[in-house]
Amino acid sequence: MTRSVWPCLAAVLAPLPAAATAQESGGQSASEPSGEAGDPQGDEVTIIVEGKRPTWSTLGDFEPELVLMPEDIAAYGAGSLGELLRQILAETSSGRGRSSGPPVVLINGRRVSGFREVGRYPVSAVARVEVLPEEVSLAYGFAADQRVINFILKRNVNITTATVRAGAPFEGGRTLGELDGQFLKIDGAERFSLDGTFETADAIREADRDIVFSDGSAGSSDRTIAPDTREWSAGFSASLGLPAGSVATLSGSYINTRDTALFGASSNSPDPLSQITDTSDLYTGLTVASGLAPSTWTLTASYSEIKEDTATDLDTQRPSGRETNLTRRLGQANALLNQRLASLAAGPLTLSASLDLSMRQQDSAIAEAGIISAASIGRDAIGGRVSLDLPILAPAPIPGDFALNGNVEVQRLSDFGSLVTYGYGVRWRPVPKLRLLASITQEEGEPALNDLGAPIVVTPGSRVFDFATLDNALATRVTGGNPDLVPDTRRVWKAGLQWTPSNKPRISVNLDYTSSRIDREVRRFALLTPEFESAFTDRVLRDAAGALLSFDNRPVQIGQGNRDELRTAITFSKRLATKRRRQTGPAPAKRRRSGRPGSLRISAIHRLTLRDEARLTEASDTPVLDFLRGSSGDEVGGTPRHQFDFSMYRWKAGIGLAMAVRYQSATRVTNAGSDLRFSDLTNLGARVTYEFNYSDAILNALPVLEETLVAINVSNIFDQKQRVTGPSGQTPDNFQPDLLDPFGRLFRIDIRKRF
């Protein structure tokens, strides 16, 4: 299968560079204005003057770790800000937060009610993207545990696009399809957008893959490993300019998803056990922001409601089946003030103060065999955060300048009382191209509402890998929430370096060392290891012969966790000159592309995990789990010591070429000298995009292709899947490659047209 990919890629790639060369060979008068891809009727071109911060930059004296201009963005082939954010995930992720959620998102240097307010905006409306370190989030009322991404929009655009996507795994068994439309109009401070999407994906069954269990049976056509999915969504946002440069934005969206999964035929019924999950997600948000000035303020409010209804048909022993209803509601409001208190010799003394209100509610009900069990849990919170930035002159003979920061947050929770977070840090710039950062944060954090109150579900006959026997067992698995959880305490220390040795071409180096200690950390242990069983004996039940009967997989609270990580990011970006050409002959296209510079960007990010340990209980004699050296807490083995992301993006004359490689090193899980080995994993993906507005010949022959872009994507080109082997080289049933990754090599084509 792998060999067959290369002729297909070669056939696609071969004609495109030739077309680009033919376009660049012509001449063009220097007086012809250059246009940007997707910029109609003279949309502005953003010019950055070195030495002066661009308009709508973020608050504070921080340099971006990454800057993307329109020609850089074009190489990604993304259609919306959400797609672009997913493609730069490695550059925007942080190791300091409680989850791997998205970064703090700003629009034109201002806070928004939520990413869903702007996530469907087309990327052709973006003039510049800035990715900044976690410390910038303090100025916007957030904790310093998420990177900040600032989308700076063009001032005047009118964009209507439609996109058709289709794809399928090379191994078959599933067809992916998507149709979406976007409309966006920006007129200065006023914006209006509409969007809609419909997606479909067929199920993948065990019989569609090479799955053979240890008892000799083959994968069943009555059991899915990826559900049949149907999803549609719609959204809008509207911004209105107010007096004194203020802007008000109202947004809303609705998403409906239906998943259908099969769990195999039962002994009492010839029909497979089916499970249908309907999820509806309603969101609305409001943002009112003042103009950018020495004193600025922002008010945000949002409300979301997610309903998840799951119907499971059980065998004749339980003819009534099972129905689960889960509703999550979240309402929150924030008031943020940024104030310059004084102008000092080293810079302005600035204060950021915010007030937060939130309401969370989770209701669940399970109906089974005529018995209904219901649960409800909620949390109200009020809190405030203050952050102060103080620039000071470096004492002689130390070169450069310093800036100090102190911040404190107090939250009052209805279920846990008062929690306090505080932190402090220093920034030093000895020379203009070098900055050093250091910060310490001490945080008290509450357990997630779902970890506390998720409905308890008892599923008999689940496959559980038992490390005591190094084999699979059919046992009862218990999942849900744990109401006995208490707040944790985290202490995070970070030291960072930002170095820009060259601006033309731009070369930047970012080095971050993060060390965290977490007391009473909440974890879910998906694998039943001997260490877990010895520490939480009440979670495991065995018969007299030692066979596993039940495994309680609900979250637990461990004594202490320690993690140290070193992150190194190196980026190289260069503008590629494009020869201007003089247009001759008939011109059917309304918006020609020419003269716009190309772009080459190379990024390499390495994460080195130096320590990842956990003491399961607070008792001093409890063994310490070392996830780098044989311990495991999830279904993919231990913690990889090395994770590496390499990407290359090139765009010129309408042709975009992209390549991304992700690598993680091998891990192992040890049990009494018998190892379960998880292989290293390398994933290579490639994408080619072409904009037809850069070809006179194509548009003269086929005017319908005006403002059309085609993108061809192949992910996991070498069809790499993680291999898991036991002491004798066998692969346990639950760890078969096609069960861990049923998709493998995936082909997708996007056709996007602007009207």
pLDDT digits (tens, 9 = 90+) for 359-409: 999 998 888 777 778 888 999 999 999 999 999 887 778 888 889 999 999
- List C-alpha distances in Å: 3 to 8, 687, 717, 718: 10, 18, 10, 9
Contacts of 412-416 with C-beta under 8 Å, sequence gap 24+, read 412/381, 412/382, 412/383, 413/379, 413/380, 413/381, 413/446, 414/378, 414/379, 414/380, 414/381, 415/378, 415/379, 415/446, 416/446, 416/486, 416/487
Question: Cα-flanking dihedrals φ and ψ of residue 173, to 5°?
Answer: 90, -10
Q: Give, for 615, the enclosing helix (H) or strand (E).
A: strand 598-615
Has residue 664 got a pLDDT over 50? yes
Mean pLDDT of 460-486: 82
Q: Which percentage of the chain shows pLDDT scores above 90?
A: 45
232 or 624: whose pLDDT is higher? 232
Residue 229 burial (CB count, 10 A) = 18
Question: Which pLDDT value is given to residue 133?
Answer: 87
Q: Which percentage of the chain shows pLDDT scores above 70?
A: 86
Instruction: For 346-367, give one letter per residue: b (16+ CB within 10 A) or e.
Output: ebebbbbbbebebebbbbbbbb
Distance CA 479, CA 262 (A): 19
- List C-alpha distances in Å: 216 to 13, 143, 733, 738: 44, 53, 11, 16
Query: How confident is residue 284, by pLDDT bands cut at 50, 70 and 90?
Result: very high
Question: Cα-flanking dihedrals φ and ψ of residue 31, to 5°?
Answer: -85, -10
The one-letter amino acid code at 754 reads R
Question: Which pLDDT value is given to residue 8?
Answer: 39
Least confident span in 237-246, 377-386, 639-648: 237-246
Question: Which pLDDT value is given to residue 633?
Answer: 63
Orientation angle between helical segments 15-24 and 2-13, nearest 10 degrees: 20
253-262, 662-671, 697-706: range with highest mean pLDDT: 253-262
HSE of 534 in the Cβ direction (CA atoms, 13 Å)?
14
Least confident span in 98-107, 137-146, 282-291: 98-107
Contacts of 346-350 with C-beta under 8 Å, sequence gap 24+, read 346/391, 346/392, 346/393, 346/401, 346/402, 346/403, 347/61, 347/391, 347/401, 347/403, 348/294, 348/391, 349/388, 349/389, 349/390, 349/391, 350/59, 350/60, 350/139, 350/388, 350/389
| Structure tokens that stand for 14 in this block | 């071969």
Mean pLDDT of 297-325: 80
Has residue 45 got a pLDDT over 60? no
Determine what percent of the chain falls in helix, strand and coil, rounding each to the nearest 5.
Answer: 10, 55, 35
Question: Which pLDDT value is given to residue 605?
Answer: 96
Question: Which pLDDT value is given to residue 176?
Answer: 93
Has residue 234 got a pLDDT over 60? yes
Pure H helices in 463-597: 530-535
Question: Which pLDDT value is given to residue 269?
Answer: 61
Query: How confident is residue 20, by pLDDT bands cut at 50, 70 and 90?
Result: very low
Peptide bond into 586 cis (omega under 30): no
Question: Which pLDDT value is given to residue 25?
Answer: 35
| Structure tokens that stand for 413 in this block | 């929770």
Asked whether the beta carbons of 654 and 614 are under 8 A apart, the reply is no
Q: Nearest-5° angle of CA 226, CA 228, CA 230? A: 130
Residue 289: closest CA among 333, 335, 253, 332? 335
HSE of 236 in the Cβ direction (CA atoms, 13 Å)?
4
Residue 460 burial (CB count, 10 A) = 10
Has residue 620 got a pLDDT over 80? no
At residue 12, the 3 state secondary structure works out as helix
Instruction: For 622-633, give one letter per residue: b (16+ CB within 10 A) or e.
Output: beebebbebbbb
Question: Which pLDDT value is given to residue 227?
Answer: 92
Asked whether the beta carbons of 150 and 130 are under 8 A apart, the reply is yes
| Structure tokens that stand for 439 in this block | 């910060």
- List C-alpha distances in Å: 106 to 196, 591, 644, 745: 23, 30, 28, 35
- List C-alpha distances in Å: 76 to 394, 472, 556, 699: 42, 43, 41, 23
Has residue 267 got a pLDDT over 90? no
93 or 191: whose pLDDT is higher? 191
Quote the DSSP letter at residue 486. -
